[in-house]
Amino acid sequence: RATCAIAESAEFLDPQMIGRAQGTLFIVGTGPGTPQWRLPESEKMLRKATDWVGYGLYLDLIADLHNGQKQHRFDLGQEEVRVRHALELAAQGKTVALVSSGDPGIYAMATLVFELLETGNSGVFAKPCAKDNFVAEWQRVHVEATPGISALQAASARIGAPLGHDFCTISLSDLLTPWETIERRIRAAAEGDFVIAFYNPVSRHRTTQLVQAQEILLKHRPVETPVIIARNLGRDEEKVKVVSLENMDPAQVDMLTVVLVGSSQTRRLQLPNGEVKVYTPRGYDKKQENEEISPVA
């Protein structure tokens, strides 16, 4: 005698998927560039992966960890293609590392992974698919993200502590966000007196947005407000300098640069050795004053 259990699946089952191991997609942030700024968890995931997917330059920055992993290199601007390819590989049962610089959740690849998991081949991401259950295959993938050191953190550490009080980040790229929306956010941040980190300040074909941001900020901040221009952080060509908001030259900024603009409270400090540091006070001096004048209970 034998016992047999039969159940009806709510979805179509692809016979080719039966018995196939669950794939894994690691979304890895490698930091700005130098290996010293890579987190141990990121390195562990990269070593564990059988396949690396990423922009060619990002894969070059982790070449010291390469140990037989198959590399899938893509050009700049092929973000959606990269993510789709990574999901396809993971759906085949492979362990895949989708590589981003910085933190993968900050203007990087993680958000696109989850967008595609939600929308699949529908809506704005519509693409021809070879199998009716292509998206269902993606749903089997185990997705895990690891944080990374972002450019604004690296720039802040290099120059002092400009992010010591309230700050925000704004991308100046209008490729996916209308300029009117970006401009509104700049005005709100300027009026709110936030320290601002500008990502994607310029590109080869987009050179006016940083100029317009500077004009907006000059209406709300002193002309001597410190601005940190940090380029190629963690790489051989790294350069970090401090200028005033009035004297910031957008022509000296490129797509490998992050720009930090101080608030009205941000200070420029010259140390005895001549080194320049920038910091934004938290207000401890005011706290001490309040404690000194507080009545005794």
Give 22's pLDDT tier (boundaries 50, 70, 90).
Answer: confident
Q: How many CB atoms lie within 10 A of CB 110?
A: 22
Residue 131 has pLDDT above 50, yes or no: no
Q: What sign results for the dihedral spanned by CA atoms 87, 88, 90, 91?
A: positive
Q: Are 162 and 279 in contact (CB under 8 A)?
A: yes
CATH number at residue 125: 3.40.1010.10
For 100, the 3-state DSSP assignment is strand
Q: 112 is in which domain, residue-wise?
A: 15-145
What is the reported pLDDT for 206? 87
Model confidence over 132-169: pLDDT tens digits? 435 678 988 999 999 999 999 999 999 999 999 999 99
Cβ partners under 8 Å of residue 14, min gap 6: 131, 133, 136, 137
- Over 80: is that where the pLDDT of 211 sits? yes
With respect to residue 91, please indicate whether it lies within any of the assigned structural domains: yes
Q: 75-110, pLDDT tens digit by residue? A: 988 999 999 999 999 999 999 999 999 999 999 999
Tens-place pLDDT, residues 36-53: 999 999 999 999 999 999
Q: So what's the pLDDT on residue 284?
A: 63
Instruction: Please indicate, yes or no, whether residues 188 and 269 belong to a single structural domain of this protein.
Output: yes
Same domain, 141 and 168: no
User: What element of type H or E holds 161?
Assistant: strand 160-161
286 pLDDT band, cuts 50/70/90, is low
Could you tell me the two tokens for 184?
């509104």
pTM value is 0.83
Instruction: Please report, for the domain that includes residue 208, its CATH number.
Output: 3.30.950.10
Q: Are 231 and 238 in contact (CB under 8 A)?
A: yes
Task: Compute the distance between CA of residue 233 and CA of residue 199 in angstroms, rounded to an integer.
Answer: 13
- Which DSSP helix (H) or strand (E) runs through 276? strand 276-279
Rounded percentage of the chain residues whose pLDDT exceeds 90: 73
Q: Which of 109, 126, 145 is the last residue of a domain?
A: 145
Is residue 259 a contact partner of residue 249, using CB atoms and an 8 Å limit?
Answer: no
Residue 258 CA to residue 199 CA, distance in Å, equals: 5
Question: What's the one-letter identity of residue 297?
Answer: A
pLDDT of residue 6: 73
pLDDT of residue 294 exceeding 60, the answer is: no
Largest CA distance in the chain: 90
Kind and range of the H or E run holding 258: strand 257-261
Average pLDDT over the chain reads 88
Per the domain annotation, does 235 fall within a domain? yes
Query: Does residue 128 carry a pLDDT above 50?
Result: no
Q: Which among 83, 101, 96 is positioned nearest to 30, based on CA atoms?
A: 101
